[in-house]
Amino acid sequence: KIFAERIAEINEKVAPSAAVYSIQESLDAAEKLGYPVMARAAFSLGGLGSGFANSKEELKSLAQQAFAHSNQLIIDKSLKGWKEVEYDVVRDA
């Protein structure tokens, strides 16, 4: 959330997203964001539990797999067709 706020301050677009903790929350978030969505396990390496869903059925299956790797998923509005600009944040302390 903080990252998205900082990006908005420099007038860059950020895909709408939601952090969820259950399959039902995943489905609710996707309904709010609109399909297609991308689901990704919050704390996994190598893309485990990540993928695109074009429907409720696809998301339910994907979320079941993703929750095997993490207790939190990030549901993003699909980025297909967007151009990507990547920002890294580094700080000491």
Instruction: Give per-residue pLDDT as tens, 10-52.
Output: 998 778 899 999 999 999 999 999 999 999 888 766 666 788 9
CATH number of residue 51's parent domain:
3.30.1490.20
49 is a domain residue = yes
- Token couple for 20: 């969820």
pLDDT the model gives residue 92: 86
83 is a domain residue = no
Q: State the total domains in the chain.
A: 1
- Provide the domain limits for residue 73: 19-77
What is the percent of the chain where pLDDT is above 90? 47
- Token couple for 52: 């695109």
2 is a domain residue = no
1 is a domain residue = no
Give me the mean pLDDT over the 4-9 stretch: 84
Residue 69 pLDDT grade (very low, low, confident, very high; cuts 50, 70, 90): confident
Q: Of 72, 33, 68, nearest to 52 (Cα)?
A: 33
